[in-house]
Amino acid sequence: MDFGVTPFDGLPLPASVTIYEVGPRDGLQNESIVLPAGIKAEFVERLVDAGNTVVETASFVHPKLVPQLADAEEVLRKVTPVPYVRYPVLVSSRRGLDRAIDLGVSDIAVFGSVTETFARRNLNRTVDESLEMLAPVVARAREAGMQVRGYLSMCFGDPCEGKVSVLRVLHVATRMMALGCTELSIGDTIGVATPGQVTAVLDALIASGIPVDSIAVHFHDTYGQALANTLTALRRGITTFDTSAGGLGGCPYASSATGNLATEDLLWQLHGLGIVTGIDLQKMVDTSVWLARQLGRPSPSRTVTALAG
């Protein structure tokens, strides 16, 4: 781990981080407007032009579940790939994986839940059943040489079950990694986490033997804690952060979830700390302003609002 930055309080932070941009998938899936495939592809290419090297591009799930992303194959065919950029897609079944393989996708993500209520609402299965369903998908993807990200939702709180215990997160997270996932994204799906909770969960995961460089964090900003939680994760050595351009997103299965942490808001913080991201903040702002026009509403990102002028 390269700890090359020392912030104001003397605690070491990573010298550089990876932004895992989820706007084209997690961001757009919760919008009421369905954008044309050409606009989605342009969105992806604008994000790459701004310096993003990981852009989650589409979702191969049943179109009845996520109609906003029903044109995933068309979007992928319209995107002109850049060699050093990863374009992951979310898959929910073997069929979705086969579609991804046919299109030459090299990175996939699969989705699980820590809580039983959300697993049943989102996956129509128990936690155990959902992991069993994912096992052959992950195994097949790894056999095909793919990188596999495992998303875990409701890691800090559930709108029906309340606060989620660290032991529960640890139990499901270690099982998800045991399937063969190469990366684990810990999600604060409804945005209730606080720095103390983030510290406890990350310390438990790292102590269990999950490599710190395989852990990512995914924060929502419902209570305005996303940036504080990000700084906490940085101090624990986390170097991969899920964000969404302009703060797009939420969760179609969790009505209390507000938008994802805005990429631009995080870039403002990271660049202020001297942490390298490789991303041009002004180009990101311009992209989010452009996308806001396509969606017919302003961006919720404070940084976009401040710099759009």
pLDDT digits 0-9 by tens, 158-205: 988 999 999 999 999 999 999 999 999 999 999 999 999 999 999 999
Establish if 176 belongs to a structural domain. Answer: yes
Size of the chain in residues: 309
DSSP state for residue 189 in the 8-state scheme: T
Confidence bin at 85 (pLDDT 50/70/90): very high
Contact 66, 29 (CB under 8 A): yes
Look at residue 1 and tell me if it is in a domain. Answer: no
pLDDT band at 258 (very low <50, low <70, confident <90, very high): low
Indicate whether 253 pLDDT > 50: no
Segment 240-262 shows an average pLDDT of 76
* Residue 281 pLDDT class (50, 70, 90 cuts): very high
Per-residue pLDDT at 250: 59
On the question of pLDDT at 9 being above 80, the answer is no
Residue 163 lies in a domain: yes
Instruction: Reply yes or no on whether the pLDDT at 266 is more than 80.
Output: yes
Tell whether 98 is covered by a domain: yes
Q: What is the pLDDT of residue 3?
A: 54
Residue 191: CA atoms inside 13 Å, Cβ hemisphere, count?
21
The SS3 assignment for 258 reads coil
**What average pLDDT does this structure show over 12-26?**
95
Pairwise CA distance, residues 188 & 228, whole Å: 13
Give yes or no for residue 135 having a pLDDT over 80: yes
Question: Is the confidence at residue 272, as pLDDT, over 90?
Answer: yes
pLDDT attached to residue 12: 84
Confidence of residue 2 (pLDDT cuts 50, 70, 90): low
**Band (121; pLDDT cuts 50, 70, 90):** confident
Q: Is residue 258 part of a domain?
A: yes
**How far is residue 4 CA from its own chain's centroid?**
25
Which structural domain, as residue segments, surrounds residue 150?
18-307
On whether the CB atoms of residues 53 and 61 are closer than 8 A, the answer is no
Considering the candidates 155, 160, 181, 251, report the single residue annotated as catalytic. 251
* Mean pLDDT across 207-216: 98
Distance CA 29, CA 296 (A): 16
Q: Rounded to an integer, what is the distance from CA 172 to the centroid of its chain?
A: 18
Average pLDDT across the chain, whole number: 92
| DSSP at 69 | G
What pTM value is reported for the model?
A: 0.94
The model's confidence at residue 122, banded by pLDDT at 50, 70 and 90, is confident
As a whole number, mean pLDDT of residues 124-135 equals: 95
pLDDT at 254: 46
The answer, yes or no, to whether residue 1 has pLDDT greater than 80, is no
The CATH number of whichever domain residue 276 belongs to comes to: 3.20.20.70
pLDDT at 217 over 80: yes
Query: What is the rounded CA–CA span in Å between residue 230 and residue 228?
Result: 5
Assess whether pLDDT exceeds 60 at residue 142: yes
CA–CA dist 169, 215 (Å, integer):
13
Question: Is residue 47 classed as helix, strand or coil in its secondary structure?
Answer: helix
Provide the domain count of the chain: 1
Residue 130 in this model has a pLDDT that exceeds 80: yes
Give the three-class secondary structure for 264.
Answer: helix
251 is catalytic: yes
Out of 117-121, 195-199, 201-205, 254-258, pick the least confident: 254-258
For residue 8, is it within any domain?
no
* pLDDT confidence of residue 252: 45
In-domain check, residue 11? no
Asked if residue 184 belongs to a domain, the reply is yes
